[in-house]
Structure formats: structure tokens, C-alpha cells
Amino acid sequence: MTTIEPETSGASATAAAAPGAAPADAPRTTPAERPSDGEHLLSTRDVSVLYGDNRALKPTTLDFDAGTVTALIGPSGCGKSTFLRCINMMNREIPHCRVEGHIWYGGVDVNAPDTDLYEVRRRIGMVFQQPNPFNKSIYDNIAFAPRRHGVKGRKQLDQLVEESLRGAALWDEVKDDLHKSGRALSGGQQQRLCIARTLALHPDVILMDEPCSALDPIATLAIEQTVRDIVATGICVIIVTHNMEQAARVSDRTAFFYLGEMVETGPTAHLMKMPKDQRLSDYLTGRFS
Amino acid sequence: MSSASNVTSESPGTPTAVGQAVEPAAGASGSGPKPGRGSSDAGLRAQGVAPKRRVEVRGKVLTGACVAVVAALVVALIVMICGQGVQTFTKDGVPFSKFLFGTAWNPTRTDADGVPYVGALPMIAGSFSVTLLSCLFALPFALGSSIFVVEVAPRFGTRIFRPVTEVLVGIPSVVFGMIGLYVIVPLIRSIVGGTGYGIMSASIVLAVMILPTVTSLSIDAIASVPESYREGSLGLGCTRWQTIVHVVLPSALPGILTAIVLGMTRAFGEALAVQMVIGSGGASVMPTSLFKAATTLTSVITMNIGNQAQGTLYYDALWSLAMVLLVMSLLFILIVRLIGRKGSVKND
């Protein structure tokens, strides 16, 4: 059990977020007044995952700040996606999967049995590996979740759709066919539609599970640019990738996972240049993948 | 080029020829003692290839013949039923509209214009009523249980529910008819009075009969909705129920429609169970109540075909009823196909 204390260098980013913990059922917040749990927007403390008796993730302690991108890197099957899926409790949908430890967000432990799962997922959005827009129009793909969460007015929805599509840098490409099927878009556009879909709920955090693994290099760059744009509005992005260059391009901080263990974390540039752990330096030099 | 490659066996142009020659020899030496390993290359080629090729040809001929038989059967059935069915209109000179929309059925008599009473509308109406009603009864249960076993309790679904529905599919229709006769008919009689026979009883019996088919196909349809759709919706903070209603069911709709139409096909064509509980209403009585005895296309055919001499008008008219059944079931299948194609386009 090696949990390396993260060196908290996200101070500059944290400064952007207003201090003071917000209650769990606070109304939607604008980027300027995001809730934060003391110093960090989101903190995991000894989070581990068990599938039956099989421990897929060893206790992991990490902090995430508003307005930053954290990359989770490591070879396939090393637990980075498993960790990501703890944060919005998607692991609860998997039978026999148990999550231990604490996930502090907005002053509450997400991993407590009485947490409002749906509110957590509204505030902590998720973008998946395969673009998975619904079998609906572009407009309905975005309006879908706000409607379920009680946004009714047509005007309000129109505005939300435009704002979200602009946020995901997709508005100019699709503004004339909002009623075309979301699945008729290209792969990269579909993925940006999925990002727009999560933006429509005004999340604090967006989890991205290898969002570019099914995309070509140009679409990948577009997504990465979108990620930087989103983060500039004060959202915290946690992105799983096994592409080192992508982590270097897009992230402020990086955490390296290996065999179900969070091995090392730190500012991305620092980590890439001077890895402390032998396993990370092996990974960086491509001695295994 | 070809002659050169035949001479030099290691030429890159002849990998297939070499492969064919060597592979059968190796296979033959493993399975049968006949082709010797020590014989020359030419001998290997001659002895090794021939038996395999003969098996190939035999296989092709056998399977092709099966296809030919099935295809011939289908074509023959359609041709025969239609050929007999149209006799009413060609040989006996009954106008098609009188047959389809006439409400009087008594083929041994003729009306004032000399046209026989072969109005099939009451039976067609009866058939459609029991079909639609039975689907209406079966659908909520089929849909509800398939949602439950796919979305709520998948282990219970695959281990218990699925096998049980499969057993139900196999129960002969006469058994359903008997249960209807001894349970449904008295029940209806005690609730609404009358004889208890009628469209309502038949629809309930048919609903139970088609329930397993519709359920099992609906389960397939719902289970085939990509998991990523569900994850996308759950990841947006939607509840399980919202996900089912707004994401899963719309995506599964083509499959569910297919299930319904196939259920309708079965209900439409069912004769025995229906006949046992629908009572013996006059074939020329338009169904006016769900609780009065009525007739369907199938019940009129089964009750009368044995008593009519070949070549009589009555006999021809019964074949026309069979033709209506055939055309309707072909239409149902066509609908299923169209839905399937549309669904596959939508779900890419």
C-alpha cells in the first residue's frame, strides 16, 4: 500500500475558485462561485475498489482542483479507469463491485451510502471512451439530461443547447442541423457532442475515460483544445489516457497508475522530466506499455 | 506465366496450388491409411485431392438440394393456396368485393343476383379482433417482465425466467384451449353472464399463448440496446427508470415492434385454441360484442373443410379464406422486415 502524498501545486488554480464549502444540495453554481472543500475541489482518500475478493485498485489518495486538468496515465488494466469511475460512482452500476475509502467533494463524502447519486453525477459529468450520443437529434441529446433534471422552458433549453454546443466548440458546425441525429455526426463531433451534453448540466468536474482513443489525430487535437477551453471556465477535468503526448499536451498534473496502484503524481512537466519511481521512468521510456 | 509457375513449385505465384496439394495429403495421412506417405509428389496430388474434392461436391449438392426443397415447398404452398383460393372468383364468378366485404356466409345458397353468400367480413373482423385484443393484453406483461429481467434482475432473467418462458412456448395450443375452456370461459360467464364463449375468452387464451413469444423477443430487443447508451444516461445523473423510459425503450422500439407483429402472426393463424373458446357463432354474424360467440377465418376453415366435396363452391370459398390468412401472414412478415430494416438504419 503505497499512497504517495501529492505535492499540491495547484494553488494558483485553486485561487480562482471561491473558498468556502457549499452544502451538498446547493443550487447550480456559476463557474465563479464553485463550491470547494477547503483547498481542493475534489479529494480522494484511500479509495480502493474490489470486484468480489479481487482488489482492482489499491488505496489511492489524490486531489483535484478547479480549473485544472489531471491526467491519469498508465498501461491498460492498471486501474485508472476503475479509479475514474469511482468519482461519480459509476462503479455502483457494476454488480459485485465495492468501493472503499472517501471521496470528498463539496463537503460530503460521495462514497457514503446516503449520497444523492444523481446529483453527484449531475455535478460530476462523464465522457466515455466510445462516443455514445443517444439515438436522438443533436438538440435532444443535449436537452435530454436538463429535461430529466427539471428544466422545462423551451427558451431556456434553446439557450442551454447553444451555450453547451459553443462550450464544446461544436456550435458553428451543427447550428443549422440541430435536429439531425446525433449519431450522424463524425466520431470527433460525436465526442464533442457528448462533452456538450455534460456541459449542459453545468458540472464542476468532467471525467473523461480515454475520450480520444477512437478518434483520428485531427479530431483528437480538437478534443484536446476543447478540454483546455472548458478548463479555462473553471471546470476541473480528469482525463484517463495511455497516450503520453496527450497527457503532456493537455494536463497540468499527472498521476501514474501501474498494476492497480497509484505510483506517482505531480505536475505533468515535472513528472515527465524527472520521474522518481523506476516503474514510471520505465513507462516513459517505453520499456513496457 | 501460368506454365512457369506450374513447373517451379516454390514460385511465389502458386501458393494456392501448393497449399491444395499438400494440405489434403497431410489430412489424409492423419485420418485414413489409404494414401501412402511415401508415394511420389504426383501420386500424392492425384490421390490426396480427389476424395476431398468429392466430399466438397457432395456437401454442396446435399445442402443445395435442401435449399431447393425448402424453396420449392414455399413456392408450391403459395401457388397452390392462391390457385385454389382464386377459383371462387374465376371459376365461380364471385366478385372479390362481395367476398371481402360481404357479411353473409352460406356458400350453398345464392342471393337474388345469383351470387353465392360468401361474405367473409365477419370472420375477418373476428380474426382481427382476437389478434389485436390478445396483443393488447399480452404487451404490457411482456414489456414489463422483459424490462424487469434485463434491467433489474439479469441473473434471475437468464437462469429462471428465460427457461420458463421457453417451456411455455412449447406447450401445445390444445392445452391452452383446454385451460381456456375450464378456467377462462367459466370466469367470463360468472363475471359478465352469457355463455362465456366469445372474442374476450379467445383473446385472453391467445394472449397467454403469445406472451412467451412476445416476451422472449422483447427481452432480446431490450438486451441488444448498447450498454453505452445506458452508461451515457446514468452518467448524466438520470435515474435508472428515466434511462429505461427515455433511452432504452426508444432504442429497442424496432425490436419490440417486431416482437408484437410476430405475436400477431401467431395469434392470427391460431385455430384450435381459439375455436375451443370462441363458441360457435354463425359465420355470417358480425361480431358486435366481446362476450358473444363469434367466428374467425381459421375456425370456419377447420370446422367445414372436412364436410365439403372437392370442386364445390363451398370448398373453393374455404380456400379463399385460407388465401386471406396466407396473404395476411405474408403482410405481417413484410412489416417485420420493414421495421427491422428501419431499426438497423437508426441504430447503425
A196-241, pLDDT tens digit by residue? 999 999 999 999 999 998 889 999 999 999 999 999 999 999 999 9
Confidence label for B343 from pLDDT (cuts 50, 70 and 90):
low
Contact A135 B228 (CB under 8 A): no
Report pLDDT for B42. 58
Report pLDDT for B110. 82
Q: Does A198 touch chain B if contact means CB atoms closer than 8 Å?
A: yes
Name, in order, each residue with C-beta under 8 angstroms of B131's C-beta and a sequence gap of 6 or more: B206, B264, B267, B268
Looking at residue A181, the DSSP 8-state letter turns out to be B
**What is the length of chain B?**
348
Contact B237 A183 (CB under 8 A): no
Contact B250 A135 (CB under 8 A): yes
Which residue in B132, B114, B116, B130 sits closest to B284, CA to CA? B116
Question: Which regions of chain A does DSSP assign to beta strands (E)?
Answer: 42-51, 54-64, 69-73, 97-105, 108-109, 124-127, 205-209, 236-240, 253-258, 261-267
Residues of B in contact with A144 (CB under 8 A): 233, 236, 238, 246-247
The CA distance from A119 to the nearest CA of chain B, in Å, is 6
Residues of A in contact with B236 (CB under 8 A): 121-122, 125-126, 144-145, 148, 197-198, 201
DSSP output for B105-123: EEEEEE-TTS-EEE--HHH
Count how many pairs of residues, chain A against chain B, have C-beta atoms within 8 Å.
71
Confidence label for B224 from pLDDT (cuts 50, 70 and 90):
very high
What is the side-by-side order of every strand in the sheet holding A261-267? Answer: A124-127, A205-209, A236-240, A69-73, A253-258, A261-267
Confidence label for B27 from pLDDT (cuts 50, 70 and 90):
very low
The CA distance from A232 to the nearest CA of chain B, in Å, is 22
Whether A7 maps to a domain, the answer reads: no
* Architecture of the domain made up of B117-346: Orthogonal Bundle (1.10)
pLDDT tens for each residue of A92-145: 888 888 899 999 998 888 888 888 889 999 999 999 999 999 989 999 999 999
The CA distance from B241 to the nearest CA of chain A, in Å, is 11
Beta-carbon count within 10 A of B37 CB? 10
CB A166 within 8 A of CB A200: no
Whether A17 maps to a domain, the answer reads: no
The partner residue sitting opposite B236, judged by closest CB among A135, A181, A198, is: A198
What is the distance in angstroms between the CA of the first residue and the CA of the last residue of chain A?
A: 23
Q: B233: alpha, beta or left, given left = phi > 0 and alpha = psi -120 to 50?
A: alpha
CB A111 within 8 A of CB A90: no
pLDDT tens for each residue of B103-134: 888 888 887 777 888 888 989 999 999 999 99
CB A43 within 8 A of CB A66: no
Tell me, what CATH number does A61's domain have? Answer: 3.40.50.300
Which residue in A184, A186, A185, A182 sits closest to A197, CA to CA? A182
The CA distance from A185 to the nearest CA of chain B, in Å, is 12
Average pLDDT of the residues of chain B:
83
Residue of A nearest to B243 (CA): A148
Q: Which residue has the higher pLDDT, B345 or A72?
A: A72
Confidence label for B4 from pLDDT (cuts 50, 70 and 90):
very low
Q: B11: alpha, beta or left, given left = phi > 0 and alpha = psi -120 to 50?
A: beta
C-alpha cell at position B62: 446435399
The CA distance from A222 to the nearest CA of chain B, in Å, is 21
Mean pLDDT, residues B150-162:
89
Q: Which residue has the higher pLDDT, B140 or B342?
A: B140
C-alpha cell at position A5: 502524498
Give the separation between CA A42 and CA A109, rounded to whole angstroms: 10
Contact B231 A132 (CB under 8 A): yes
Report pLDDT for A287. 73
Q: Does A205 touch chain B if contact means CB atoms closer than 8 Å?
A: no
Confidence label for B44 from pLDDT (cuts 50, 70 and 90):
low
- Amino acid residing at B327: V
State what percent of residues in chain A have pLDDT above 70.
Answer: 86
Confidence label for B102 from pLDDT (cuts 50, 70 and 90):
confident
C-alpha cell at position A129: 471512451
In chain A, how many domains are there? 1
Residues of A in contact with B229 (CB under 8 A): 132, 134-135
Residues of B in contact with A145 (CB under 8 A): 233, 236-238
Contact B236 A121 (CB under 8 A): yes
ipTM over 0.90: no
pLDDT at A172 > cutoff 80: yes
Report pLDDT for B41. 58
Contact B247 A134 (CB under 8 A): yes
Average pLDDT of the residues of chain A:
84
Mean pLDDT, residues B205-218:
93
Q: Does A149 touch chain B if contact means CB atoms closer than 8 Å?
A: yes
Residue A98 belongs to domain spanning = 35-284
Mean pLDDT, residues B330-347:
76
Report pLDDT for B79. 94
Report pLDDT for B104. 85
Residue of B nearest to A197 (CA): B236
What is the side-by-side order of every strand in the sheet holding A97-105? Answer: A54-64, A42-51, A97-105, A108-109
pLDDT at A165 > cutoff 90: yes
Confidence label for B77 from pLDDT (cuts 50, 70 and 90):
very high
Whether A201 maps to a domain, the answer reads: yes
State what percent of residues in chain A have pLDDT above 90.
Answer: 52
Give the separation between CA B259 and CA B163, rounded to whole angstroms: 18
pLDDT at B193 > cutoff 60: yes
pLDDT at B30 > cutoff 80: no
Contact B236 A93 (CB under 8 A): no
The CA distance from B217 to the nearest CA of chain A, in Å, is 21
pLDDT at A5 > cutoff 60: no
Contact A121 B348 (CB under 8 A): no
What is the distance in angstroms between the CA of the first residue and the CA of the last residue of chain B?
A: 46
Whether A277 maps to a domain, the answer reads: yes
What sign results for the dihedral spanned by CA atoms B151, B157, B158, B163?
A: negative
Interface mutation vs chain A, best among B155, B225, B236, most A CBs within 10 Å:
B236
CB A205 within 8 A of CB A125: yes
Burial label, B47 (beta-carbon count in 10 A; 0-12, 13-18, 19+) = middle
The partner residue sitting opposite B237, judged by closest CB among A133, A183, A201, is: A201
- Alpha-helical runs (H) found in A62-180: 80-87, 117-123, 138-148, 154-167, 171-174
Contact B346 A135 (CB under 8 A): yes
Residues of B in contact with A120 (CB under 8 A): 237
The partner residue sitting opposite B232, judged by closest CB among A118, A134, A149, is: A134
Whether A134 maps to a domain, the answer reads: yes
Mean pLDDT, residues A36-49:
81
Residues of chain B within CATH 1.10.3720.10 domain(s) are 117-346
